């Protein structure tokens, strides 16, 4: 375990079938003017909306709403939300939905009292908030992003064809999150599978960096094994509570700052996926799946020992006198087989990418330096072409 770090995660979690019961206790800690934020209507269909509104009314709260937060929330929607929040003097934001709703609520929390243009300040200049931050609580309905226990807030700007994430600090992380695996059971299968791969890749992004003996890697291997096991069950039996609850808990631990400790972390699959998302508005987890294998096959020679360890510890491949290279290849083949079995989208063409977009997507890909190989533009273009 190398590096110097501090560790603190301020989000309080309530997990399980009865977790919504704790909402009223939490609401006592926050202001009267609640801004209820949700997506395109799944919570109305499931009945969760009615349950939440009843609790808010019983607690004597004034309720304002922002409905229709879309998957991959946009900067226009953010600006619209700022107006609504200011008009209603909102002093608490309750996000009810998936990662998009939760991310959006965090972006809103730092924008309501901001005198600057939030997109320019947080997503172009990457500055930190100086204004008052409106507290956020979350009731999660989709497992995947880890947004329920982190400071990430990804916003898409279609006009400038950019999808950018800002990872804010402790003050922006949800004050509490309610995780009821039952809520995830109404998810369409496509979204469930995309979420599963998002979780898996969050772990990979942190695991595939560094060469030290690191506790975080052992935790990551356990999380990946649990996810592979539970995903196999959930794909065939989506109503299996045990599998869905394990997937939900793994999602939270995959990206709540724990397994990043002592790691430089990679995040290039996400940078490629986000650029594809900016051009296609495709489902986040699917954009990651579509670029992953070409990316990992490209960087494998630079991190060969870790890829060999991944094969043995995550996929159970026997060492059996094999070279690192053989093991590494077998590991990625096992991953590919699993990805196909659970039904992921395996190329960017199926997500709507055409050849004329490749240069633009490459330009929209932020290049980070924490992984095994710092890519140049030609390499990015090569990976994108191999992903078609
Ligand atoms: O809008 P509604 O009607 O609620 O429908 C949503 C949406 O269409 C639906 N859904 C969610 N829960 C449901 C449900 N449908 C039925 N039953 C339920 N229980 O699922 C669709 C997708 O929801 P969304 O919130 O967009 O998915 P996800 O949780 O994958 O969030 C994606 C966003 O999070 C960002 C992504 O870039 C993307 O913008 N990310 C956030 C991260 C973070 N905060 O750290 C990291 C991730 O890597 C990711 O970038
Ligand atoms: Zn992700």
Q: Which residues contact 369 (CB under 8 A, 6 or more apart)?
A: none
Write 19-26 long-range contacts (CB < 8 A, 24+).
19/178, 19/179, 19/180, 20/51, 20/52, 20/55, 20/139, 20/178, 20/180, 22/176, 22/178, 23/52, 23/55, 23/137, 23/139, 23/178, 24/55, 24/58, 24/59, 26/137, 26/175, 26/176
Tell me which of 67, 97, 106, 292 to substitute to probe ligand 1's pocket, judged by most ligand atoms within 8 Å of the beta carbon: 97
**Do 317 and 327 meet the contact criterion of CB atoms below 8 Å apart?**
yes
Element (H, E) at 95: strand 92-97
Residue 4: its pLDDT value, please? 87
What percent of the chain has a predicted confidence (pLDDT) above 90? 99
Alpha-carbon span 187 to 42, nearest angstrom: 9
**Do 308 and 327 meet the contact criterion of CB atoms below 8 Å apart?**
yes
Counting from 1 in the atom list of ligand 1, the atom nearest the Cα of 100 is: 25
Q: Which residues contact 3 (CB under 8 A, 6 or more apart)?
A: 261, 262, 263
Counting from 1 in the atom list of ligand 1, the atom nearest the Cα of 155 is: 39
Assigned token pair, 74 = 């946009």
CA–centroid distance, 205 to ligand 2, in Å, is 9
% helix / strand / coil in the chain, to the nearest 5? 55, 10, 35
Neighbours of 45 (CB within 10 A): 10
Residue 151 Cβ < 6 Å to ligand 1: no
Q: Which residues contact 250 (CB under 8 A, 6 or more apart)?
A: 143, 199, 223, 226, 227, 230
Q: Is 287 exposed, middle or buried, given 0-12, 13-18 or 19+ CB atoms closer than 10 A? A: buried
Q: Which of 351, 337, 342, 344 is nearest to 289 (CA)?
A: 344
Residue 73: its pLDDT value, please? 98
CA–centroid distance, 167 to ligand 1, in Å, is 17
Tell me which of 251, 284, 291 to substitute to probe ligand 1's pocket, judged by most ligand atoms within 8 Å of the beta carbon: 284
Grouping H, G, I as helix, E, B as strand and the rest as coil, residue 59 is: coil
**Do 59 and 20 meet the contact criterion of CB atoms below 8 Å apart?**
no
CA–centroid distance, 142 to ligand 1, in Å, is 6
Report CA-CA distances (Å) from 266 to 2, 220, 373: 16, 14, 9
Counting from 1 in the atom list of ligand 1, the atom nearest the Cα of 68 is: 1
CA–centroid distance, 144 to ligand 1, in Å, is 8
Tell me which of 142, 164, 173 to substitute to probe ligand 1's pocket, judged by most ligand atoms within 8 Å of the beta carbon: 142
Q: Nearest bound ligand to CA 274?
A: 1
Assigned token pair, 71 = 């998957």
Helices (runs of H) and strands (runs of E) counted in the chain: 15, 8
Residue 230: its pLDDT value, please? 98
Residue 378: its pLDDT value, please? 98
pLDDT tens digits, one per residue of 262-318: 999 999 999 999 999 999 999 999 999 999 999 999 999 999 999 999 999 999 999
Alpha-carbon span 31 to 186, nearest angstrom: 31
Residue 41 Cβ < 6 Å to ligand 1: yes
Residue 190 Cβ < 6 Å to ligand 1: no
CA–centroid distance, 270 to ligand 2, in Å, is 6
CA–centroid distance, 98 to ligand 1, in Å, is 4
Mean pLDDT (the chain) is: 97
CA–centroid distance, 287 to ligand 2, in Å, is 9
**pLDDT beneath 70: ranges in the chain:** none
Counting from 1 in the atom list of ligand 1, the atom nearest the Cα of 142 is: 12
Residue 1: its pLDDT value, please? 78
- Those residues whose beta carbon sits under 5 angstroms from the ion ligand 2 are 198
Residue 206 Cβ < 6 Å to ligand 1: no
Grouping H, G, I as helix, E, B as strand and the rest as coil, residue 316 is: coil
Q: What residue ranges in 144-286 does DSSP mark as E strands?
A: 152-157, 162-167, 176-179
pLDDT tens digits, one per residue of 343-380: 999 999 999 999 999 999 999 999 999 999 999 999 99
Single pTM value for the model: 0.98
Neighbours of 343 (CB within 10 A): 16
Residue 270 Cβ < 6 Å to ligand 1: yes
Element (H, E) at 90: none
Residue 3: its pLDDT value, please? 80
**Do 96 and 34 meet the contact criterion of CB atoms below 8 Å apart?**
no
Residue 2: its pLDDT value, please? 76
Name the residue with the closest Cα to ligand 1, atom 8.
Answer: 71
Name the residue with the closest Cα to ligand 1, atom 47.
Answer: 145
Grouping H, G, I as helix, E, B as strand and the rest as coil, residue 344 is: coil
Alpha-carbon span 381 to 376, nearest angstrom: 9
By residue count, the chain amounts to 388
Tell me which of 42, 122, 196, 368 to substitute to probe ligand 1's pocket, judged by most ligand atoms within 8 Å of the beta carbon: 42
Residue 187 Cβ < 6 Å to ligand 1: yes
């Amino acid at each position: 375990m190398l590096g110097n770090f501090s560790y603190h995660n301020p989000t309080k979690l309530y997990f399980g079938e009865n977790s919504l019961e704790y909402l009223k206790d939490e609401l006592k800690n926050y202001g009267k003017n609640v801004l209820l934020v949700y997506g395109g209507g799944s919570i109305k269909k499931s009945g969760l909306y009615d349950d939440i509104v009843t609790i808010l009314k019983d607690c004597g709260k004034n309720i304002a709403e922002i409905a229709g937060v879309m998957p991959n929330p946009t900067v226009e929607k953010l600006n619209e939300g700022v107006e609504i929040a200011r008009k209603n003097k909102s002093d608490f934001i309750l996000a009810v939905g998936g990662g998009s709703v939760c991310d959006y609520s965090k972006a809103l929390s730092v924008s309501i009292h901001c005198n600057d243009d939030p997109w320019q300040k947080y997503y172009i200049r990457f500055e930190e908030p100086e204004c008052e931050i409106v507290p956020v609580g979350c009731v999660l309905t989709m497992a995947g992003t880890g947004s329920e226990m982190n400071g990430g807030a990804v916003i898409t700007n279609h006009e400038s064809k950019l999808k950018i994430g800002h990872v804010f600090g402790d003050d922006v992380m949800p004050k509490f999150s309610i995780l009821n695996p039952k809520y995830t059971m109404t998810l369409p299968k496509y979204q469930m599978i995309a979420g599963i791969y998002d979780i898996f890749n969050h772990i990979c992004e942190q695991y595939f960096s560094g060469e030290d003996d690191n506790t975080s890697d052992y935790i990551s291997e356990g999380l990946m094994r649990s996810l592979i096991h539970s995903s196999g069950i959930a794909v065939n039996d989506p109503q299996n509570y045990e599998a869905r609850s394990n997937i939900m808990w793994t999602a939270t631990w995959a990206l709540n700052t724990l397994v990043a400790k002592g790691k430089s972390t990679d995040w290039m699959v996400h940078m490629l996926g986000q650029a594809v998302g900016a051009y296609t508005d495709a489902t986040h987890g699917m954009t990651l799946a579509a670029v992953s294998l070409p990316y990992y096959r490209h960087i494998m020679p630079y991190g060969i020992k870790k890829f060999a360890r991944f094969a043995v510890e995550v996929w159970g491949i026997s060492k059996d006198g094999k070279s690192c290279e053989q093991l590494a290849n077998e590991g990625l083949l096992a991953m590919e087989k699993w990805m196909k079995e659970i039904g992921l989208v395996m190329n960017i063409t199926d997500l709507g990418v055409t050849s004329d977009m490749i240069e633009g997507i490459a330009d929209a890909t932020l290049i980070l330096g924490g992984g095994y190989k710092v890519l140049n533009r030609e390499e990015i273009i090569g990976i994108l072409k191999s992903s078609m």
